[in-house]
Chain A
Amino acid sequence: MRATAPASARQAALQTGHLRTLSNPRRTDETRSPNAGDRSSHAEGAGEHGQPALYYEREGRIRPAAKSAAGYRLYTEEGIRRIAFIKQAQQCGFSLREIRALFELRATDDACCDDIYRVAVEKKLRLERKIRALAAMSQALTRWIEMCSRDRRSLDACPIPGALEAGLAVDGRAAPKVLQAPAKSA
């Protein structure tokens, strides 16, 4: 902790540990090694590649309360909570656009639990749909893998690129001729 007298409220908060970096919410900026990462790395706590925090910062929904001399973004407890909310929502499959809608909903005076419930039900339906699509895709890949002769023939003779070009429905309903497994060479 620096020994200098606080010149502003932010500095005061920093010195009393009220402002924190994202990558280690328990550690104040002043106790963090400046060699631990570059500026953008401090957003990593908000999601993949640190983009969500920067995205919402650009949108003005999250603002670092201050930046340290080393360039680290410093957040208030409320800021940390908002970023944790984003991270959790992302892990539940919400896109950044959907999370923005959730923020807007939370900021709406007459919004109620039922509104969030509806969003959650819709999200579950979309996730279930995606899960089934992924399962079907995995099954299709299994079939294609089994079809592949894994020999040294040219790609033209390989069923997998042909299946992809034919736009095979992943649920297996469509079975273009191109998917007929080639006769294996003796």
Chain B
Amino acid sequence: MKILIEAFAAPGCAKCARSRAALKAVVEALGAERFDWRDVDVLQQIDRAVALGVVSPPSLAIDGELVFPALPTPERLRAELTRRLADAA
């Protein structure tokens, strides 16, 4: 089963886009087919954002859990995803 990654951001946030690109690169390096990456506009999908407790985007949720209220470094994301992949194996 794919790991769901939801990247919450406000529209038009250039900084968010840059950070997101670096994190997406991590996902692709680990195998894009193992993940379901979704970009979530907090204003368009505010119910989802609020349900997960997003209050200060950009944030990252993994499998429906707000693991990173603030975007992590690529290294931290890699460590988290590697651990989850190992747990799932």
Contact = CB atoms under 8 A, between A and B. Distances in A.
Interface string A109-132: 000001001100110111011001
A125 B46 contact: yes
Given A121-B42, A121-B57, A128 B50 contact: yes
A128 B46 CA distance: 8
Contacts of A118: 10, 13
Contacts of A126: 55
B15 to A, nearest CB: 9
Nearest to A121: B10
B60 interface: no
A91 B25 CA distance: 43
Contacts of A114: 12-13
B40 interface: no
A92 to B, nearest CB: 16
Nearest to A125: B55
Contacts of A117: 10, 12
Contacts of A121: 10, 42-43, 57
A83 B46 CA distance: 31
Contacts of B10: 117-118, 121
B49 interface: yes
Nearest to A126: B55
Nearest to A120: B10
A125 B13 contact: no
A114 B55 CA distance: 17
B66 to A, nearest CB: 12
B64 interface: no
B53 A122 contact: no
A129 B10 CA distance: 16
A164 to B, nearest CB: 24
Contacts of B42: 121, 125
Interface of A: 114, 117-118, 121-122, 124-126, 128-129, 132
28 contacts: A114-B12, A114-B13, A117-B10, A117-B12, A118-B10, A118-B13, A121-B42, A121-B43, A121-B57, A122-B55, A122-B56, A122-B57, A124-B43, A124-B46, A125-B42, A125-B46, A125-B49, A125-B54, A125-B55, A125-B56, A125-B57, A126-B55, A128-B46, A128-B50, A129-B50, A129-B53, A129-B55, A132-B50
